[in-house]
Every structure is written in C-alpha cells, then in structure tokens.
A and B are shown apart, each in its own frame.
Chain A
Amino acid sequence: MTTEGGAPKSERKRVNTPDGMFIRDMPEGTKLELKNGDLVEVTLNARDGGWLVGRVVESERPESVGTEDWIFFAEVAAEIEA
C-alpha cells in the first residue's frame, strides 16, 4: 500500500455510506474512499450532484497517487472522517 498520509485502509473511519450519499454540497478537502479502494481528497466540486474532482491520496496503483481525476458519485464507497 502506498500512502501519502492518512490511516491505513483497514483503519479508515467510514462516516457516510453511498446509500443516499449526497455530494452536491460536499466541501473541498473532504476525504472519500472509492469503490476501487482508493482514498481521494476532493479538490473541486462541480456542485451538480454528479461529479467532483479528487486527488488520489492512497492507492493499490502507486502511479496514480497524486493524480487528479473526475469522480462520479456512484464510484464513492464512503466518506472518511477527517
């Protein structure tokens, strides 16, 4: 596991699960766990309920750490307590 700060995956505290999760007003800086296991930090929110931009903080694929990409809300597994 490649880590850029934050707790190891097993110790992440999941505070919000995808059922009924509503990303529209989620502030930048929020940490999210994706369904593929990545931990990302929200860097931009389109505030349309569908999409936000996240920077990968932890990932099984080391090359993706630090990259930013668009994330669809259905890819989010949980919000992680800061």
Chain B
Amino acid sequence: MVTYIKGRGDRNLRDLVDLETGVVSREVYVNEDIYAQELEQIYGRAWLLVGHESQVENPGDFVLGRMGEEEVILTRDRKGQIHVFLNTCRHRGMKVCRYDDGNALVFTCPFHAWTYDTDGRLVGVPHHHDAYFDELDKSQWGLAEVAQMCNYYGSIWATWDPKAPSFEDYLGPFKQTVRWAFQASDGTDAGVELYKPAQRWRLPSNWKFGAFSFAGDSAHAAMTHLSVNAAAIGPQGEVEGGGRHPLAAPFPSKRGYMSSRELGHVGQLAIYEQPGVADYRDTWLLEPGVDDYWRETREIKKQKFANEFLHMQSDGQFHIWPNATMSDWRILMWHPHGVGMTESWRQYQVDKNAPKHVKDAKRRYVMRYCGPAGITESDDMENWNYAHPASLGMVAQRYPYNFQLGLHHNHYDERIPGVTIGDRGPSEENQRARLRRWVEFMEAGSWDDIFPVRKNGKSNGKPRGGNGISSSW
C-alpha cells in the first residue's frame, strides 16, 4: 500500500522522511491527514501497553486505560481472567464505564441499560422478552474486546489486530529488557506492582515529541534540565552536587544508543564488560532505613546473576514501539489526542514486597521528579509544547527537522544481536530508527508487510544482526 498525504498535493511519505541524510519534514509531526492515518496504521495494528495486573488484583476490579485515542477497560472477570474492552456500548455507543477504577459485578450502560458482565458478555437487555421477542442474539453484542492480549511478567499489552505477531516476537531483541523492567530489585520476575493511580495530563504537542524525539535524546538534558539541580531532588539530597538521579556504583560497561531498526524499539542501555550486577551504593541518605532494603535485595540479585551478562538490562530508558517509554522505575505513555495534543500518562513500578517506608520514599521521589509537577519533567513539557506551534506555519514547514546527530556512526555488536549501537556521544540514531519503523507502518497494507521485517529489505525472516553500518532502506 502506498500512502499519500492529502491536503497539499499528493506526495509519498518517503518524500518526507529521508534517513539517508537525516532530514525529516515537519509535516510528519503536524499534518492532520498524516495523523488520521497514524491512528489506523499504527494504533490499529501495534501492540500497546494497557496497564499492569496489579491494577486489577481481584475479580471484578477494573481500571480505565487507553489505546491510541480510544478508552479501554482493563478488568478481571469473576473467574480471574484479565480482559481489555473498548469502553463503548454496542447499542448506541455510550461509555459503559465512567469510573476511573473500582470493582464491578457488571458494566451497566446508563443510556438504555444494556449490561455487560466483566467477561464482556452482554447479559442484560431491557425488554429482551417482551419487545425484542427474544430475537436479539446477545452473544453477538458483547463488549468489543482486543484481538490479542498478553500478560508479560505482569504488564498487560494488547492489539486490535488479530494478525499481529506474538508479543514476544514483536519485542524481538528487547524482550529481556521489558521483562527486567517488571522484575523486583532482587531479580524476581513479575515482582513489582504499580503505584495507583496513573498521572494523566494534556500536553499540547504531537504524540511523537514524547514517543520519538525523547527516544534516546540525551542531547536535550543539559540545556532543558539546567535548573533541576538547583532543587536537589535526588534521594541523596545535596550530596555530590544534588543530582536528580540516585547515586550508583560504577560497573564496567559501555553505554550507548541501541536500536532495533527492524522493529522500532530503542533504548539508552548498556553492554557489560563483565558478568554480574553492580554493587549497591547508598543513596537514600535523607530517608533512614531505605538503603538497607535495596542493599539486601541487590545482594540477592548479585548472587542470582553472578555469571550472566545482563546486556540491555532495564537500568536505562527504553522505548517500545510505538508509544511506551519505560525503565525499571517508571512508565511513560504518550497517547495521541489529536494531531497537536498528547495525553501523557505516568506510572511507577515498585517492589511488591518492599516495606512501607521503602515504598513511601520511592513514591515521594517519583512525584517530585515526574509528571506535570515534576521538577525535572516540567522543563520537558515547555520544550515539547512550543516546538509544535512553531512548526505549524506555512513557511516553517518548508524547513525540515534535523536528525543528523551521530548519523552513520552506529554499528553492530555481536553481544546484542539485532541491535545497532551508537556509543560515541549523543546520537539521534534511536529517533531515526523510530522514524524508519514509522514509515513502514504507515505504508503497510497488513502485518504481512512489516513482520518479521520489511519485505523490500534483505530480510531472511529474522531481525538482522551482523556488523557494518547500514541505514539504507
């Protein structure tokens, strides 16, 4: 399928994204026709992060989530099975759930009272006998459920496309990275829960500013976050200059910008020069007793992985295609909400079994760091916000964005197959990888065209590894 942009003459999307030269038209971020196509081509097709099983611990628990522009209900039915449903009544479209979270026996539509069990079945229709004459087949009119759902170490992902590959295949070389993001600090799989509820707010900017431009954009930190250290928000307080991140012990590693060009997942992660896990370094200097817990769990983790190379473990930040940004302590979601608006969500993991004083200390840290009141993140919001209107103008759109930082300086490393790495200073290779995948999704007629990898590439059906520099299509 060839995708044309209506509106200003028919042009091919590839005219707008030139990754050979690292030049990308602003229209990719601001054109309304492109945005409308994204909802269908990307959000109708990709695996999306919906939430976490800890949000629906008990039968009947539910919480509202989002997939693209649309609201979904994440719920656990009476038999304990987790589901994701579109939050709309099959009769005339009313929202069947208008509570942010809670516990329900059924979802009853307040319009004409059709009612749905937590497993999605339509169980009650007024006048079914006396006016529908028992002719309405309730089994055909249950809530719309996602085509596929995956509980991945506690995190819940879903897609509307029945042809999408399995979630593990979708993650490719990032499957361990995502797994680790839901490990407890002692290395126990599925060992975290999310603090409740999600912070949700509107950022007047295209969703790709968060989801793409933030993907490995360490070049922004120095200037954007110039004011943060004045506030000394890290758990160590004023120690060592009052940085915003916890103190960490050194461990021989090579950090870099890692991207799966084939799949669009990217990260700022590390390759380790030796097996095992770094020592714990005390950092919660303002919160008595907190370091004791992390030190103990780190010891357990060190023993567990003493002989393993944890390449690409989730201690850095990474981005799962298309709109989830994660690390081992926070999850950032960038939901499209119109071409010039993003609904930004923040959720935070914490060890399920951590004692209260540890959970409290970490909770207070994430609240002062992240979100619209975050001392760090509030600076990002201003920059993403005003990049949007300043890109809208007729003249402004003649001038493309520059994505040339580190162009053609990525390479492969046999220790992380399928992933290219840029390890010589800041690089926008991750952002280019996202844009490459973006064009593929936007052009694809179906999943057959984009998985395992693009058809017009030289794929053998597996994500490519090997050496050498390649950024051609």
Q: Which residues of A pack against B, CB within 8 Å?
A: 44-51, 70, 72, 74
Interface size on B, residues (CB 8 A): 9
Interface assignment of B113: CB less than 8 Å from any CB of chain A: yes
- The docked-state distance in angstroms from the alpha carbon of A49 to that of B106 is 12
A77 to chain B, nearest CB (A): 13
- The listed residue with most B CB atoms (<10 A of its CB), out of A44, A45, A50, A70, is A50
Q: Are B105 and A72 in contact (CB under 8 A)?
A: no
Whole-angstrom distance between the alpha carbons of A46 and B113 in the complex? 12
A48-B126 contact in complex given A70-B115, A72-B113, C-beta closer than 8 Å: no
* Chain B residues whose CB sits within 8 angstroms of the CB of A50 once the complex forms: 108, 113, 115, 124
Total A-B residue pairs with C-beta atoms closer than 8 Å?
A: 29
Q: Does B444 contact A (CB under 8 A)?
A: no
What sequence of 0s and 1s flags, for each residue 98-118 of chain B, a beta carbon within 8 Å of any chain A beta carbon? 000000111010000101000
CB atoms of B106 and A72 under 8 A apart: no
Interface residues of B: mostly helix, strand, loop or mixed? strand
Q: List 20 A-B contacts (CB under 8 A).
A: A45-B105, A46-B104, A46-B105, A46-B108, A46-B115, A47-B105, A48-B106, A48-B108, A48-B115, A50-B108, A51-B106, A51-B108, A51-B113, A51-B115, A51-B124, A70-B106, A72-B113, A72-B124, A72-B126, A74-B126
B129's nearest neighbour on chain A, judged by CB, is A36
Among residues of A, the one whose C-beta sits closest to the C-beta of B128 is: A72
**Minimal Cβ-Cβ distance residue in A for B113:** A50
Is B405 an interface residue, CB under 8 A from the partner?
Answer: no
Q: Does B123 contact A (CB under 8 A)?
A: yes
Task: Give chain A residues whose Cβ lies under 8 Å from the Cβ of B106.
Answer: 46, 48, 51, 70
| Closest 8 pairs (CB-CB, A-B) | A70-B124, A48-B108, A46-B105, A72-B126, A50-B113, A50-B108, A46-B106, A51-B115
Contacts of B105 in A (CB 8 A): 44-47
The CA of A45 and the CA of B106, in the complex, are separated in Å by 10
Give bound CA distance, A45 to B126, whole Å.
16
Closest to B107 in A: A48
A70's nearest neighbour on chain B, judged by CB, is: B124
CA distance A73 to B204 in the complex (A): 45
Closest to B125 in A: A72
CA distance A51 to B108 in the complex (A): 8
Nearest chain A CB to B266 CB, angstrom units: 45
B residues near A51, Cβ cutoff 8 Å: 106, 108, 113, 115, 124
How far does the Cβ of B131 sit from chain A's closest Cβ, in whole Å?
A: 11
Min CB distance B11 to A, Å, is 52
Q: List A contacts of B104 (CB < 8 A).
A: 46
- By a CB distance below 8 angstroms, the chain A residues around B124 are 50-51, 70, 72
